[in-house]
Structure 1
Amino acid sequence: MKVLILGGTGVISSQISQQLLAAGHEVTVFNRGSKSLPDAGQYEWIVGSKADGETFQRQMAGRRFDAVIDMISFNEPDARLTVETFRGRVPQLIFCSTGAAYKRPFRTTPVKEEAEALFDDPAFPYAYDKARMELYLQSRIREENLAVTIIRPSLTYGVGGANLGVLRQNYNIVHRIRQGLPLVMFGDGRLPWSFTFAPDLAKAFVGAVGNERTYGQAYHATSEENRVWDDLYGEWGQILGAEPVIVHLPTDLLLKADPDLFAHLHYEKSYAGLFDNAKIKRDIPDFQISLTLRDGLRMMLDWYEAEGHTLDEGKMRLEDELTAIHSRWSREMEELELS
């Protein structure tokens, strides 16, 4: 099949591109042209930006594809442009949404798609805008019977990503564990979560292409390994051969320390992240999780060391300051207890 990926070189979309190619599809990638892919010559490349809607529509005029996978729509106007550009010319549109688009607290645990409402608090724009995008797409499904498939990843890590850890600091975690420096964890670290890796998630998108069972449907696609948040750093310690020093801080205090950096903890990750994959396995039988948390972190470490990653000095200072505050507070509590 001829598949167009809007994006195609990101953490998740690069895995989708490669898996589509391996499955024998003819793949066209549309993006700004700032990144490449392995075996780049096997793809058709279109350089552009959806931010310039008129130019985007001219570039796509007359083009025929069997499916379009949109990885770069983050709100209703983005999705509307994709729908209006390809309506009537492409049999299937597949959109990447997010598990953050579910309203918290959940109604079900593990989460079931059909039982949940969508996020409705504009205070967390990422989740709110994705939810609004989905509401628009669902209206097109109802009113036009448009063949739209929506995939909702939860927290997903992968090569090229900069979102690992509480501070989204990536390589800093490895450095701090090796140096015996403390790491900040939100809450008590015991909240259940399923950590997913991009090579597994990509199977959901590839399995949806041309799959009529997925038309008009929304799915989450996550790991099924039941872990808690402390395990993220504990597994790093096992891989590196050093026990991590984990400092637990309340989420509301972290939010006050840096509202932009820690909003994802307050609005999304303060609730258990366990998802029921029964629906996607029913319609996409090839969706099977193969990477454990340790497997995925080893993959990340291989990437860090192969590319010689550097530290995020700003986040290093912030983590030092936060753990120092915790240390002072702990001493004061001990003194209060002794008095």
Structure 2
Amino acid sequence: MKVLVLGGTGVISRSIVEAALAKQYEVAVFNRGSKNHLFSGEVECITGDKSNREQFRELMKDRRFDAVIDMISFDAADAQATLEALHGRAGQFVFCSSTAAYKRPFRTIPTAEDAEELFDDPSFAYAFQKAEMERYLGGMIKLGEVPVTIIRPSLTYGIGCANLGVLRQNFNIVHRIRSRKPLLMFGDGTVPWSFSFAPDVAKAFVGAVGNSNMYGKSYHATNEDVHIWQDLYLEFGKLLGVEPNIVHISTDLLVQASPALFSHLYYEKSYSGLFDNSKLKRDLPGYQADISLSAGLSMLLDWYERDGHQVDTEKDLLEDRLTGLYTEFGKQLKLLSI
């Protein structure tokens, strides 16, 4: 089986490459070429910039693949470029979308794929553009010209991730817990959530390759263990042997403080993050996301320790200021009650 991964160096796509190599697939990756040393096995590396449509078409014109896994399409135009460049030269296309592409609030919890509508508010560009991509792909699926499968991961962590925590502060979480510094949590921290890890999600993408049961359909690929958002910090605390000092600030106030940094909380993470995987399990028998929150965070902690990560001082100072404002506000409220 010859598979092309568009991307290949991101958190999920690296795991996809490794999972495909484990199945002894012949794997090629297309990306800008900055991190192709990451792979454990032999991988063909095609270097280019997909946003340069003409260059991309030229690089693909003499190549053929059994399947293309597209991890770097973020809107309809990106997806169209993939289909046009590889039309007639790929037996199947697997596109990475996101559970962010759903309209909120949900109609179902845990969320079922075929019961929900796609996001329609351009104010949150990432979700809206992913939804636009899916609308385009839905039209292509109806035409029936090429097998297309859509996979929707939820928030996914893994080696190399840069999206961990409320501020996406990553290693700073470990630093602040060890330093007994307060950690910021949005709202009361009790939004239900399932925390997914890249090797589990990769199994869905690789399992879709050559699987005719999955043609023309969309699927979740998430962990199904039920947690709340605060568990992310509490579990890190258990691993470090230090109880975290968690400060709660309303999502609305956080968005006012930094729309660019906190809009994802307002539009996406203030709603349940529990997703039904029964459709994927039906069409990909044996699929199970079995990396627990504790095991996944332990993997990340080992990575931090091994690679010697540095504190993001800008985010550390921002978290100091926000939690300091909260503490000062609490003092003022106590004075009012005297």
What band does the TM-score fall into relative to the shorter chain? Answer: over 0.9
Q: CA deviation at 1:144?
A: 3.2
> Deviation at 1:88?
2.2
**Under a length normalisation based on structure 2, what TM-score does the superposition of the two structures give?**
0.98
Return the alpha-carbon distance in structure 1 between the equivalents of residues 228 and 137 of structure 2: 33
Give SS of 1:149's match: strand
**1:335 positional shift:** 1.6
Specify the code of the residue in structure 2 equivalent to 1:50.
Answer: K
SS in 2 for 1:300: helix
Residue 186 of structure 1: aligned partner: 186
Does the 8 Å contact 1:203/1:286 carry over to 2?
no
Residue identity matched to 1:299: M
* Alpha-carbon distance, 1:35 to partner: 0.4
> In structure 2, what is the equivalent of residue 99 of structure 1?
99
Contact 1:167 1:315 in 2 (8 A): yes
**AA matched with 2:112:** K
**CA separation in 2, counterparts of 1:325 and 1:24?**
55
Quote how far apart the aligned CAs of 1:90 are: 1.1
- In structure 2, the residue matched to 1:195 is 195
Distance change in 2, residues 1:307/1:122 (3 Å): same
Q: CA deviation at 1:286?
A: 3.4
Contact kept, 8 Å, 1:96 with 1:150, in 2: the verdict is yes
Q: Deviations over 1:301-332 (max 9, x none)?
A: 00001000001011001000000110011111
Shift, 1:38, TM fit? 4.4
| Residue number in structure 2 paired with 1:286 | 286
Contact 1:177/1:245, CA 8 A, preserved across alignment:
yes
Q: Is the 8 A contact 2:36 2:45 kept in 1?
A: no
Q: CA deviation at 1:232?
A: 0.4
Q: Which residue of 2 aligns with 1:77?
A: 77
Which runs of structure 2 are paired with 1:1-339 in the superposition (5 Å)? 1-39=1-39, 42-338=42-338
For 1:303 and 1:309, locate their aligned partners in 2 and report how far apart those are by CA, in whole Å. 9
User: Per-residue deviation at 1:145?
Assistant: 4.2
- 8 Å CA contact 1:224–1:275 kept in 2: the answer is yes
Write the letter of the residue equivalent to 1:13. Answer: S
Deviations 1:264-323 (A, max 9, x none): 000000001100110000111232112100000000000001000001011001000000
Q: Secondary structure at the match of 2:230?
A: helix
Moved more, 83-92 or 43-52: 83-92
SS state of the match for residue 42, structure 1? coil
* Equivalent pair of 1:189/1:230 in contact (CA under 8 Å): yes
Are the aligned partners of 2:14 and 2:39 in contact in 1 as well (CA < 8 Å)? no
TM superposition shift of 1:89: 2.1
Q: 2: distance between equivalents of 1:285 and 1:329? A: 53
Paired amino acid for 1:309: H
Structure 2 counterpart of 1:271, one-letter code? Y
- The question of whether the paired residues in 2 share the 8 Å contact of 1:14 and 1:37 is answered with no
Q: Among all aligned residue pairs of Structure 1 and Structure 2, give the percentage whose two residues are the same amino acid.
A: 59
Residues 18, 40 of structure 2: 8 Å contact kept? no
Q: Distance in 1 between matches of 2:327 and 2:46?
A: 53
1:213-248, Cα deviation, whole Å (9 max, x unpaired): 110000111111100011000000000000000000
Deviations 1:176-197 (A, max 9, x none): 0001000000000011000000
Offset from partner CA, 1:86-145 (integer Å, 9 cap, x none):
122211000000010000000000000000000000000000000000000000001234
Helix, strand or coil: the match of 1:150? Answer: strand
Which residues of structure 1 form unaligned runs of 5+? none
Gapped regions of structure 2 (runs ≥ 5): none
What residue identity is the alignment partner of 1:98? S
Deviation at 1:62? Answer: 1.9
Distance verdict in 2 for CA 1:111–1:37, change over 3 Å: farther
Amino acid at match of 1:147: P
Between the two proteins, the alignment pairs up a number of residues equal to 338
